[in-house]
Every structure is written in structure tokens, then in C-alpha cells.
Amino acid sequence: MEKLALRYEGKAKEVYETDQSGYFWIAYKDDATAMNGLKKGQIVDKGEVNNQLSALFFEEIEKAGILTHFVKLLGERDMLVRCLDMIPLEVVVRNIAAGSLAKRLGVEEGYVLSQPVVELYYKDDALGDPMVNESHAVAMGWASAANIKEIQVSGLKINDILRAILVKAGIDLIDFKLEFGVADGKVYLGDEISPDTCRYWDMETREKLDKDRFRRDLGGVEEAYQEVFRRVKEVLAPA
């Protein structure tokens, strides 16, 4: 597999073409952004953690029968993925109120929801990624009703998979963001699953182990990312 021209550079990843049609080479960066790009910085070795942790989660999700874009690791911060026609929606699954949900509902962070909540957001930085519903998505042509139903159902299944892993690691999965795309008429999970896209809290201390440490200037950002990676590796290590 050969890495060719840079196809796209995002906030957290670089996407390269390859010599194999239908596949991209993803390079994870240490760059960090928050507040729709208004806050910028770097988190040392973030690219390595997010790449390898995402791979571990993708493999477990595939075992449960959900398609993902992940093919294989190409290095500590590189992976090979399938090319997808991305659906311009973020699927956010929430188990415990935090961040924007706590503000919207007027509850304290840490309020446990009686059931998981699935939200949709239109991916557009200029608009601030506004929350939308299924009707908006279909009316705007972002996805079919069937695809929206599928990604919502998949989001809840992925929630169950991740929570089962993380509880063994002593971590509460507060909420997380997913992105999906289509290839050959099938829906695949794309993007990443990492401390950049999830909220993780230590189950005993309630310490934040995710990007909120960067967003809120809490310090110990690198240590938190590494701690999540270490614990998940221990849980998923071959017997």
C-alpha cells in the first residue's frame, strides 16, 4: 500500500489517496481544536492514541455486525480505511447530561438520563453544527429516511458495545459523536471513536478523561488520553 497525494486535511486528520482504488490513508494529527475552531492547540501523542484506540473500538463494533470504514492499522498514527460518501450529519448519543445538553435542559452535569438520547446535528462549521431532526435531514436531501433510521439504530447498538467495554475499564461513557457514510449502497461507520469525540469520566473519581480537559483548561490532557487508551487495551487484551 502506497500513500499518494493529500486529498483533504481536517482539524484532526489528514486524508491521503492510495494506489488502491476505494481506500484512503488516514494520518491522525496532534492538533486540537474546540469551540468550532476558535480554540486551537496541540495534545502530545494525541494522534497515536486516537488512531489506535479507534482501531480497537472499530474491531469490536465489526464483531457485532456493524460495518465500519476501518481496514487495518498502517502505523502508530496511520490507518487504512474505505472511501465513503459521508452523510453530513453528526449522530450524538447521550447517556448522562453534560456540555450543551446540561445547559439546554437546565440540569447539573452528571444527571443520569433514564434512557440513551440520540441527537442529529448538521455538519457545518459556519452554522455552528445546528441540531436538526429526521424531517430536516430528509427534506434537505442529506440522507434517506431509511439511512437515518439505520444510523440511529446503529448509534444505540454502538453505545451498548462501548459501554460494555468501558465499564470494565472503570469508565463511564457520558456521550459521544459518530459519523456515517455510504459505499456500494451500504452504510458504514466512519470518522473515529476517541477522547476527541467521546466524553469519558472515571467511574469512581468522576474525573474527566477526554477533550473537555483541553476545552476547559483543566490540565493533564495528555495523561487523560493515555489513561483511557491504557485501560481499554487492558480490557481488550487477548486472553
Bridge partners (DSSP) of residue 34 are: 39
Average pLDDT value for the chain: 96
**Is the predicted pLDDT of residue 56 greater than 80, yes or no?**
yes
Q: Are strands 131-132 and 112-122 parallel, antiparallel or unpaired?
A: antiparallel
Distance CA 149, CA 135 (A): 11
pLDDT digit string, tens, across residues 151-178: 999 999 999 999 999 999 999 999 999 9
**CATH pick for 85-219 out of 3.40.190.80, 3.30.1600.10, 3.40.50.2300, 3.30.470.20:** 3.30.470.20
* pLDDT for res 34: 84
pLDDT digit string, tens, across residues 58-82: 999 999 999 999 999 999 999 999 9
* pLDDT for res 238: 76
Q: Give the model's confidence band at 39: pLDDT under 50 very low, under 70 low, under 90 confident, else very high.
A: confident
Compute the average pLDDT of residues 118-144: 96
CATH number of this structure's domain 3-82: 3.30.200.20
Compute the average pLDDT of residues 124-145: 96
pLDDT digit string, tens, across residues 194-214: 999 999 999 999 999 999 999
Q: Give the model's confidence band at 145: pLDDT under 50 very low, under 70 low, under 90 confident, else very high.
A: very high
* pLDDT for res 38: 74
**Is the predicted pLDDT of residue 220 greater than 80, yes or no?**
yes
pLDDT digit string, tens, across residues 83-105: 999 999 999 999 999 999 999 99
What are the sequence ranges of the domains in the chain? 3-82, 85-219
Read off the pTM. 0.95
* pLDDT for res 239: 60
